[in-house]
């Protein structure tokens, strides 16, 4: 996901959480730092999309590197393989 997309989605999350729309602004009912905290730590457990996206990409890369015979890896390799001389 592009960084600007994740920032836009996070802005939409904040606006929803704080009850803000395009016509009026309301007072914040909760600080954004508290929204990111885990529930057991008295937070709302909202995930930061940029961190979640990076973690999922790294997980995908790990699986790609470690699973040699999986169907999805063969499809990706075949689709993006380099042509000799090019």
Cα separation, 72 vs 86, whole angstroms: 24
Q: Rounded CA gap, 22 and 25, in Å?
A: 8
pLDDT tens per residue, range 1-26: 778 888 888 888 878 777 766 667 76
pLDDT tens-digit series, residues 23-51: 677 677 777 777 778 888 888 778 888 88
Q: How far apart are CA 64 and CA 77, in angstroms?
A: 10
Contact 36, 46 (CB under 8 A): yes
If phi > 0 it is left, if psi is from -120 to 50 it is alpha, else beta; for residue 45 that is left
pLDDT confidence bin for 86, thresholds 50/70/90 = very low
């Amino acid at each position: 996901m592009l960084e600007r997309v994740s920032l836009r989605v996070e802005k939409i999350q904040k606006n929803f959480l704080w009850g803000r729309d395009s016509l009026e602004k309301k007072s914040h009912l909760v600080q954004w730092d508290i929204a990111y905290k885990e529930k057991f730590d008295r937070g709302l457990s909202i995930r930061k999309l940029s961190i979640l996206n990076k973690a999922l990409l790294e997980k995908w890369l790990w699986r790609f590197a470690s699973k040699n015979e999986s169907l999805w890896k063969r499809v990706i390799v075949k689709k993006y393989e380099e042509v000799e001389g090019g």
